[in-house]
Amino acid sequence: MRVFNGRPLHALRLIAIVFAFVAVFAVVVAFGASVGHRAQLLTAGLMMFAGLASYEVWRGARDELPRARLVMAGLFAVMAIVLAARTALPWLSPESELADVFYDPLGGLSSLVNSISIVGLSIALLMMANERTSDRHRRLALTDELTGLPNRRYFLTQAELLLRRHGRDTLACILMMDLDRFSKVNQRFGHAGGDEALVWFASLLRRQLRSSDLVARYGGEEFCALLMSANQAQALATAERIRASLAAEPVAIQGQRHPVTVSIGVALLRSGEIAAALQKADQALYRAKAEGRNRVAAEQGFDVRLAAN
């Protein structure tokens, strides 16, 4: 289950556990423990691993769809509880019953429950694998493969969900960003070099924006961001910080430093109208391009001097 969760399986730790159990079991046998007590020791070992497996499956539910994981964690937990009862209850029975044969205080119920659980675990594991595959395909459909940022489809869908959650009248702004003269980067370094520049800018956006902001690669060399709980003055300040950070440091492309700049359009989101805000931010972006590039422009009707104050 650790491997299935993408966590490392420490071979030395596993070997140490096996040797420790063998050593304890050898000592128990050497001191003349009965068959019943030996069986209890083995059952206790199985109980421990069933409990640890249940915990490992449960902790993985934070990263993946929990439906099949909850089923699997529950089955491992049931096995651990049954094995715990099977370990503890024989101590309440006469010692003579533990001496020569294994005594099952549950009357075979533990074997039945464990057998059913193993079948259920096999089915749950297939469900988990199927959910993981489906989730991977969904992520690929909503993620830009090159930059790792969400794509346009995810941006529009998630923006609608955020606005529905916070209310249509929530304060928010849209940034539309386009790398300037990007065709020259492709001409000089090829498309592979252009890809490096896009990845660089995506990394810069992750550093400059808040975790509550939604950022995506909108298409080509164009990026967009939804700044939640930000007025236009705050959005303009954020846009200017992004522009200045990119302009201040040449991008490393194929071992060479090449200056890359970005033009940014800013628009206020009104009444939850994403499409209208995107259009206004796009118009502001084209105005920034027309005015000389490497600059930030606000939508028409907004007093930039107010933002400066």
Q: Using an 8 Å Cβ cutoff, are 304 and 298 in contact?
A: yes
State yes or no: is 56 an active-site residue. Answer: no
Residue 106 tokens read as 């549950």
- Measure the CA–CA gap between 239 and 234, rounded to whole angstroms: 9
Out of 56, 95, 97, 221, the active site residue is 221
Question: Closest Cα to residue 144, out of 216, 214, 205, 206?
Answer: 216
Taking CA atoms, 305 is separated from 33, 135, 138, 179, 235, in Å, by 87, 47, 44, 25, 14
Q: What is the dihedral of CA 233, 236, 241, 243, to 10 degrees?
A: -170
Q: Residues with catalytic annotation?
A: 221
